[in-house]
A and B are shown apart, each in its own frame.
Chain A
Amino acid sequence: MNEPDLRVNIGGLVLKNPVLTASGTFGYGREFAPYMNLHHLGGIVVKGISLAPRRGNPPPRVVETAAGMLNAIGLENVGVERFISEKMPWLRGCGTRVIVNILGDSLEDYRALAARLGEVEGISAIEVNISCPNVKKGGVAFGTDPAMAEAVTRAVCEESHLPVIVKLSPNVSDISIIARAVEAGGAQAVSLINTLLGMAIDIKTRRPRLANVVGGLSGPAIKPVALRMVWQAARAVKIPVIGIGGISSAEDALEFILAGATAIEVGTANFVNPKAAEEIAVGLARYLSEQKIAGISELIGGLILAP
C-alpha cells in the first residue's frame, strides 16, 4: 500500500499533516529544534504576538495540577516588530508552515497586526486569539460576546489576505453561538479550545498559587471537555475546525479528528515531551497504514452516533 495521505486543507491552506503546535507552548519554534525535525509537523503556531511588547504577569505564573497545569503568563511577547526582525528569519527556513497568533486590546490593534503581518514573507496563516483568560482587557472579552467575536474576525479578515483562524474560548455557555458568529465574520477556520479558567490555593500559606489568582487550565485533564466542544463546534459551522485541548498522543488526536476536527494543535504535551508533536504526526501515519486507510480526510467527523 502507498504511504497514507495525511494532507488536510484549512480554508485553502494545505498542511502536509494535521499536526500543529499550540500557541504559547512552542515558543517561536526554534526552542524545539534540538529535539525534533520541525518539517515533520503540519505547521507551528507561534507564541501570541501583540503590537507592542508585553511584560506579562508577575510570578508565580505556572502551577501543576492533577493531570494538567494552570498558567497565567499574561501574554508576554516581544511585540510584532521584534517578532518580524528577530524570529521570522529563522522561521522562514524551518521547513514547515508558520501560523502567527495575534492578540490585541482593541479592533484597531487586531487590524494593525493583520495588516503588518500580511506584508511579511513566510507566514501561512493568522490565528486570532480572542480567548486568553489572563489579561484584563481584550482577550476573553472578545471571545465571550458573539457580536464582538464577529467584529474582530471581520476586522482581521478585511486586512488580511492570509487564511484567518479564530481561536475560541471554552469559557462560554454555548460554543456553537460563538463559532457561528466567527464564521459569519468571515473566518476560514476556528480553533478550540483555549484554556479553561481555574485556580489553585496553597493551604499552608492560604494564598493563591498563581500571582494572578486565576489562570488557564491545560493538559490531559481538559481533554474530554475540549473534545465535547470541538464536536459541538464542528456541527455548528461549515468551516474547518482545529481541535486543541490535552492532546498528548496520536490516539488523542484521532478522537478529535473523529469528532470533526480537520487538524489538531498539540499544547501542554510539548512541555512534557519535547518530541510529542512529531511523535503524534508519526503515530497518525502509522495508524492509517495499519488500518489501511488511504487518507486522513476519510476520518474527519467520522464519529458514529447511530447504534
Chain B
Amino acid sequence: MNQYEEQAEVLRQEQLAPGIFRLTLKAPEIALAARPGQFVMLRVSACHDPLLRRPLSIHQAGSNGQIQLMYKVVGKGTVLLAGMRQGQKISLSGPLGRGFAFAGRPALCLVGGGMGIAPLYFLGKEIMRGNEPPKCVVLLGARNAAELGPLAGDFRDLGITETHVATDDGSLGHHGFVAELLKSRLDPEQSWTVCACGPLPMMKAVAGQCRARGYECQVSLETMMACGISACLGCAVPQPDPQAPYLHVCKDGPVFKAEEVAWP
C-alpha cells in the first residue's frame, strides 16, 4: 500500500469565492502516489478539539510534489484550515481509497456539483494528459456564478472546451440542475462514461439518467469517517441487496460504480 503520513508545508492559500478556498501543499510522497478520485486525511489541529482528521478529495497532484485541496468553510475544522498560512505545517495522510477508472474509455463526462467539483479537476487533467485524449465533456453545477469562481475556466484551460455550467439562480449558464445538462450536452450516439461527484440528490439524478441511457456511471461518495484507512468501519454504505455486507467509502470507494450502492 502506497500510503504516507507527511508534515506538509503550506505553499499557498487562495480564496476562490466567499467561503471557498484552495490550499496548495508540499507533500511529495503523497503527490507522487495520488490518483484522481483518491482523498487525504488532514489533521487540522494539534489539539484535541476538533479531534478527528478531515477527509478531503485531491483537487490536483503533480510530479512537482505539490498537492491541492479545495474546500468550503462549513465547521470548526475548515475554519481552522482556512486560517493556515504559507510556511505552516499540517499532517496529511494518504493517498487513500479507490479513485475513478478512466483508462481506455472513449468518451468521458465529468459531472460536479459544488465542492464535488474538487476531485474532477485532477481527473480532467489526467484524462487530457495523453497525446490523443478521449472525448471529454465537463458539466459543473453551483448555487451561483460566484460559488463557481475560476473553476469553469480552469477546466477550459486543460483543453476541455466542452465545459458547461448550470447554476441554481441562473447567474451563469443553464438555469437549473447540472444533471439536466446530461440530456442536452451529450451526444446520444456515444458510449459515455460518466464520473460524478457532488450532493447526493445530484448524483442520484445522474445515476438514474445513466441507467436509462446505458452509460457507465461512477460516483464519488462522502460520509462521516474517523480514520480513512478502514480501521474504524464508520463510513458504511449499503449495497442494493439489503442483506449484503456494507461497503466502506474509505476502502471500497470513495468512487463506486453507481449500481454498487443503494440509492436512498
Interface residues of A (CB under 8 A from B): 24-27, 31-35, 47, 53, 55-64, 66-69, 71, 73, 76, 219-221, 248, 268, 270-275
Mark contacts of B221-251 with chain A using CB atoms, 8 A cut-off: 1 yes-contact digit, 0 otherwise. 0011111011111111110000001100000
Closest to B227 in A: A271
Q: B52 and A271: CB pair below 8 A? A: yes
Q: How many residues of B contact A (CB 8 A)?
A: 31
Query: B53 at the A/B interface (Cβ < 8 Å)?
Result: yes
Do residues A220 and B51 form an inter-chain contact, with CB atoms below 8 A?
Answer: yes
Overall SS of chain A's interface: loop
CB nearest to B1 among chain A residues? A34
A-B contacts, 6 of them at CB < 8 A, read: A35-B93, A67-B49, A76-B236, A248-B48, A273-B43, A275-B5
Query: Nearest Cβ in chain B — how far from A202, in angstroms?
Result: 12
Interchain CB contact (< 8 A) of B232 among A34, A59, A62, A248? A62
Contact B48 A220, beta carbon cutoff 8 Å: yes
Q: Report chain A residues within 8 Å CB of B48.
A: 67, 219-221, 248
Of B4, B234, B246, the contact of A55 (CB 8 Å cutoff): B246
A55 to B236 CA separation, bound complex (whole angstroms) = 10
- Chain A minimum-CB-distance residue to B228: A271
Cβ contacts under 8 Å, A62 to chain B = 224-226, 232, 234-235
Chain A neighbourhood of B43, CB < 8 A = 272-273
Which residues of B have CB within 8 Å of A268? Answer: 51, 226
Residues of B within 8 A of A219 (CB): 48, 51
Q: Does B191 contact A (CB under 8 A)?
A: no
Interfacial residues, chain B to chain A (CB-CB below 8 A): 1-5, 43, 48-53, 91, 93, 223-227, 229-238, 245-246
Q: Which residues of B contact A220 (CB under 8 A)?
A: 48, 51
Least Cβ–Cβ distance between A152 and chain B, in angstroms:
24
Task: Give Cα distance in the complex from A33 to B4, angstroms.
Answer: 10
- For B236, list chain A residues within 8 Å (CB): 56-59, 61, 76
Q: How near does chain B come to A222, taking the closest CB pair, in angstroms?
A: 11
Q: Are A274 and B93 in contact (CB under 8 A)?
A: yes
Partner among A35, A56, A67 whose Cβ is within 8 Å of the Cβ of B5: A35
- Contact yes or no, B226 A34, CB < 8 A: no
Given contacts A67-B49, A272-B53, 17 further A-B contacts (CB under 8 A): A25-B231, A31-B229, A31-B231, A32-B229, A33-B1, A34-B1, A35-B3, A61-B233, A61-B234, A62-B235, A64-B52, A64-B226, A69-B51, A270-B227, A271-B226, A272-B43, A273-B43
Residues of the B chain whose Cβ atoms lie less than 8 Å from the Cβ of A25? 227, 231-232
List of A residues within 8 angstroms of B224 by Cβ: 59-64
In the bound assembly, the distance between CA atoms of A129 and B4 in angstroms comes to 32
Please name the 9 residue pairs, one residue from A and one from B, whose CB atoms are nearest each other, closest first.
A62-B234, A27-B231, A34-B3, A67-B48, A271-B227, A220-B48, A271-B226, A59-B236, A67-B49
**Chain A residue at minimal CB-CB distance from B238:** A58
